[in-house]
Every structure is written in C-alpha cells, then in structure tokens.
Chains A and B, each alone.
Chain A
C-alpha cells in the first residue's frame, strides 16, 4: 500500500528536514504534547539495509545497498545522492562537491557522518570582540552551556573530561570515552616532546549500550555507514518523535513556503510527492532544518511580492557568509607497527592551537586511527593475487600514521549560496549554486597546521608521504553561516532565538545560523541550538 503523504490538519509546527536539527526539535516538541509534522525531501532508509550498504562500500561492483532508491537509476552512492533531484552548480574559485557533503533522507547527514561532537570554545562566540575579525554570536558560551549538556545526553556522547583547552563543563559525559588507540600512544610521545597536550575525542558513538542501541562492535566503516547502530543518527530522534505522535513524511520535498496577505506569517509549506502532486501543510509555526544550503534555497524559492528577494531576506544576507572547515593533514610511515584501520573513528585530538593567535583561525588537530590503506579494500582493487598480493599488502599496511585537522574559515560575504536559474531540479526549481573559496588567513592557518603536523611526524622519525596544505585543502562538509544569527535585522537573518527577523512564525535550526563556525565539528552545537529552540517553541506554541 502506498504511503499516505497527504497533508495533516493544521499542525502546531511543520519542520522541514529530518536531520539532527529538525528531528531533535520534533522529538522534544512532540513529547511536550505539540502536533508536529516533519517533511523530508529524501527517503526513509531501512535499518536492515545497513550491512548491505557496508558491503557496497567495501566491495567494488556492489550497488548501493539501499532497497528503495529515491529516483531509480538516477540515484547513486550509498545514500542515493545525485541525479536531477540533487543538481547543483559550483561557481567559486574552489569547486565544492556538494552531493558528497550531505544526505537527503530521514536522518539527514548523520547517516554518513563521522560522529565527532565537540563543544565550541568560548572564543568562538566572541571572535569580533576578542580579535576584531568575523562576528560575535548574540549569545555566549554560558548561554549555550546547559543546552550542550542536554545535547550530549540526546546524542549519547562518549567522552572524558581530560581536555585542558575545552570550555567548562557542568557534568560528566553520558558515556565513558573510547580509550586511546595504540597509535595515539605513539603520538603522545612526540606531542609531549613538542609541548602539545593530547586528550580524548568526544564521540556520538556508543562506548557501551545507550538509548536502546548497541555498543560499537568495530566494523570500521563509521563513515559512510555504521551497521551496528552504535553511531548516532537522527533516526533515533525521528523514532522518538513518531512514538510521541509526530508525523514524518519522507520523499516530500518542500517547494516553497507561502505566507498570509500581510507577508508576516507563514501559512503553509507546499511540498511535492512522488505521485507528482503538490500539497499544502499548514502550521502555526514553521522550522527550517534542511541544512546550510537547502535552507537558503527554500527561502529564495519562496520569494513573493511582499518578499521579492526571498523570505527572511530583507537584509540581503540569506545565503551569504557560507563557511566550512578546511582539512589540513600530513601523513607518513614509521619503522614500527601503527595498528591502523581497526576502527573508523578517532580517539585523540589536540586543541592546543585553537585559542591563540598563531594562527588566529582555530585549528583542531586529529590523530587518525585510519591512516593508510585497509588490506581488505586494497586486495579487492589489486591487479594481483596469491603470494604476490600478500607481499604487497604486507608492504603497504602496518606503519602508516597521519595527523589531520580542521581549520576555521572566517565568514566572508562573497562565499555564498545563490540560485542558479539556468539549471533546474526534477521539479523545475532553480538549483543551488555554491561559491566557496579559502581566504588568506585560512591558508596561512593551514600552513601553520602543516608545520605542527610535520613536526609531530618528524619527531617520530617518520618518512613523510603526503601533505594536504592550502593548495590541496578541501571542505569537511560542514555547511554554516548562510542564515546568520544576530540582533540587528540589517546584519543578520535570524534573531538570537533563531526566529527570522522578517517572519513572525518562521524559525531556522541548524548550522546555517552560526555567525562563525570555529574549527569544531558542528553537530553538537546544532543539537544544542535545537534543544534551545524546542524549549523556546514549547513556550511560544
């Protein structure tokens, strides 16, 4: 029987996007007794397909492993991204691989994420005041601190209070940290010599059973798929929301938001369904939670006589200040076993470079547990077998080390998401254009990160094999800044409570509201803001 995708009666809240930002809001509001309808552009993926998706990831020639791909043969990859539905252009000086950077579907990009969940540091909220660059947030760390604690419980974060650079904590992590790896111990020697304290990594991954999900069993394929369910995905909050009465409609891409005659209030989200029909979901409140690119596109697609430049865009800033984190890394080999590729996540980091001024952009160093090739994957791509294959695998595996890292981008107005009206998606809507570049201060910070990374490996006597520097860097797939939060409607898109300055009943969730992004993976902050937004909306509704 075909799923009923017809609209519900006027809901308390319509949430666009079933990733972590939207799913957390949906779960908490539903549990507070509000009627919530969640619309997601992508499909609902079957948990029973995860092992087949692992198979498809590891074994060349195996199809995606998803039972119901959203658009038949146009879909590709493990999560069905690509094709006409997901068309985009990238006009900036640095190309942006948008469809590798996101997943459309119930769970959103947590379906393929790494699962690293650090709090922003205090300096991240006051970059303009402290250093005269970027922007200040209209709230500070203390404002968000209780919500960070809630977010850690929501995601089941495994961590330890051992980071001398982290902002203050109020309670232990919900789960114990994953202990350091063998290679972490190797790095610790060198880092100690260089005066770089190392510490654990907070992971949204179960170090022991939590929230009815398994502990990690070590498949080693966290990114792009965790078959055990130990890695948090927003499907957990979707399940909670539905258990509390929310309705979640998949394959229902919202085409535009429609407002009342005054232009001040959103009346409905107009969405399409696979049968070619369009429907109107009316709601008292609307929450946009479809990521830093699609949030922008939907606001711009909702232009009207009252809002000729797009909804919530009186400032002209919708889409501007697009930020990501830039990768910097150095890898090489040493003369002893490094024991890589047992697990697909990291267990040690260093925030020593984060809060200072050399460099000014934040830099977070990551000590990888998956440097170098995996023997099984290499074997399946080799053009040899037998003893000679074994010999080559032994030669290529076992002694690799790598230090990666994320480097901050300051907000730059010219980095932006716009509509490319020359290209349309499967519903005839203009597609997003991503204009992304790496500024001089970030390039310099990447070079500084490389210096430190190289020093660590040289301290270990490593032979350096590769360096990802400013010319080779790429994005970490964290889409931030495009509907920035602020107090001045001329300088921001949403108010400190995440409500659009220009619409009385439109809120935005997710990292698009970040005025700056630091160099910490953004999902914990996304979750904290969603907890905060749910509290606010509970009162408003």
Chain B
C-alpha cells in the first residue's frame, strides 16, 4: 500500500487545512530547523517519519513523502508544536539509547514509545511528555493516515469520517465498485 503526496493532501483536507499550496516547507517553518536541547541540528522530518513508520502498518510505503507533505501543509502553529515534540522525543532517544530516533530500529522505537507510556497516555497538547507525544506525534500521524482515503482503504473505507469524500461512496457495495479517488 503506497502512500503518496496526494494522499497527504487528502488527509490535510480532512483536517480542514486551507491554503495547502502556499504552506511553508518543513525546514523554514519557523525560520530555522528545530534544534535539540544540546544544540545539535535535528532533522525533524526524519524523526516524524521514524514515528510514522512505527505507528503505521508495515504494509505502508512512501511514508517519508506522505509525512513531509502532510506536515508541510499544517498551519504554522500546529507544525511548530509537532516539531517541538519531535525534538523532545528525539532527545529522549539520544538519552536512553545513545542514538537519534531515526537510527533506532523499528522494534526499539516501538519499545521506546511504550516505555514512555505513549500507548496508554491520554492525548494532551500541553500535558506530560508521553501525553504530548501521543497528541502531537502519534495521533497526528494516525489521523493523517486513517482519515485519508488510502489509509481508510486498508481498513475497508475509502471515505472515512472527517474526509470530505462526497456522497457516492456510501451507496457502493464495495471499494472495488469504483476507481481510486483521493
């Protein structure tokens, strides 16, 4: 199941984000790349892709372009929050595993998130680290995925709730009864 930039734009439509075409690129979101507490440059996108590869089904491919397009299209303040928490998570990975998050294998990333309690944390944009990771990273990325037609199709619904996918799909007997949209 190959995710595309077009899927990311569809997911942004689900978030109600307007003006995607004029959105800033990731690197100049706030004028400079995000930085970790120790001052080293953090590739925020790589961190986000690393989280996405952990929380998305293994069948998903094209994750990097999907995530980049999605995050680029978020409103500035929402993107800044995502990048800030990504930096915090990356710093935790360096602290606990002596390596940036993207360098950890998928199983270790998964374990790090679970050790932080992210799997059972209540999503809270201003809460503890685990709650912020759940809100700004895990849920943001899961929302992008499962509110998009391509992510929804993996479950069996090409017009998921929050995606303005029209009023044709609910009448069809199956996803196969129409061409791919989104």
Contacts and interface: CB of A to CB of B under 8 A. Distances in A.
B71 to A, nearest CB: 16
A536 interface: no
Interface in B37-88: 54-59
Q: Which of B59, B124, B134, B142 counts the most A-chain CB atoms under 10 A from its CB?
A: B142
Contacts of A220: 159-163
Contact of A386 (B16, B56, B161): B56
Contact of A385 (B55, B59, B163, B174): B55
Interface stretch (A55-63, A269-277, A463-471, A488-496): A55-63
A380 B142 contact: yes
Contacts, number: 151
B108 interface: no
B170 interface: yes
Nearest to B148: A376
B125 A219 contact: no
B171 A375 contact: no
Interface string B116-136: 000110111100000100110
A292 B156 CA distance: 42
Contact of A217 (B58, B156, B164): B164
Contact of B157 (A52, A178, A342): A342
B103 interface: no
Interface in A42-74: 50-52, 54-55, 58-62
Interface residues of A, number: 51
B169 A218 contact: yes
B155 A393 contact: yes
Contact of B166 (A50, A217, A341): A217
A339 B160 CA distance: 10
Contact of B162 (A376, A386, A393, A394): A376
Contacts of B110: 386
A462 interface: no
A383 to B, nearest CB: 5
Given A59-B123, A379-B146, A394 B156 contact: yes
A26 to B, nearest CB: 30
Interface residues of B, number: 46
Nearest to B60: A390
Contact of A384 (B119, B122, B135): B119
A227 B16 CA distance: 8
A369 interface: yes
Contact of A51 (B16, B120, B134, B173): B16
Interface string A269-287: 0000000000000000000
Contacts of A442: none
B33 interface: no
26 contacts: A51-B17, A54-B16, A55-B16, A181-B170, A182-B171, A217-B165, A218-B164, A218-B167, A218-B170, A227-B16, A342-B157, A374-B160, A375-B155, A376-B152, A376-B162, A377-B161, A379-B143, A380-B146, A384-B119, A386-B55, A390-B59, A390-B155, A393-B146, A394-B156, A397-B157, A398-B156
The 10 A-B residue pairs with the shortest CB-CB distance in the complex, in nearest-first order: A51-B16, A342-B170, A61-B123, A385-B55, A220-B161, A217-B164, A376-B146, A390-B57, A375-B155, A374-B161
Given A342-B159, A342-B165, A383-B119, 14 more contacts: A51-B15, A54-B16, A55-B16, A55-B162, A185-B173, A218-B169, A219-B164, A339-B157, A339-B170, A375-B155, A375-B156, A376-B147, A385-B142, A386-B54
